[in-house]
Structure 1
């Protein structure tokens, strides 16, 4: 996580799924004056966070559809995905590109790029991300940051026994 923070200049987060939400378990803060902060123990809805959407993309179809059926997709900003079909399309896009992108969906002015971490059985068990203010995460940096986050997730997954 520290390497990811140093490479991007932004805060790195680690989270797991718990009771339909992301539970943040660790963070390495950016050295920037303005930065994001998710203390260990904080939570966020899966549908409205980078790590959450990354984890959803690692769910099999049955588990994902179960989540969609039983979850009220609460709106936090005008960019929050609150429609099941839009969430399905977002998850398909995440699966294609390998990383999720939270574009001010939980908090106005904040963006996040995340990827899921898998265990030796190929299950999505955690997510790793970077997050920061929108001006420091412009559209033209997202692909490059996404590649770095994916590489970090692969390295942690490999250490957990994933192939």
Structure 2
């Protein structure tokens, strides 16, 4: 079975996919990732005692802004009129991780997986930036799409 990469034309050159004839449908994508950190860094975040302020509020805003700017960052992404962006955090004290959960949604002709992934990535990077003075050994990982809906290929969940 051969899979054709949609971002390449017949000559193998980079190509923005033409979505003109695709139907407008409600499309949604969810992504998740995590940042692993020291117990001290996690405690400071949880107790709101980080000297840089509300770390989660800043990371949430950064993730939302990143989703909105995805087409400026990823060369062949379409600029999209997103109608909903969520960035939420879940703390796992045992693994010393903060999980970042993102959701992007719109009514449009193309999917929003890249926007959800970009929001998750930038929120994790922002957590890193906010906490690096306390912990220089943080690790970001596990960033992936976990669900999508809408469009010709239908619904999918990991």
TM-score, length of structure 2 as denominator length: 0.28
In terms of fraction of residues, the more helix-rich structure is 1
Higher Rg = 2
Tell which has more relative contact order, 1 or 2 (C-alpha 8 A, sep 6+): 2
Normalising by structure 1, we get a TM-score of 0.28
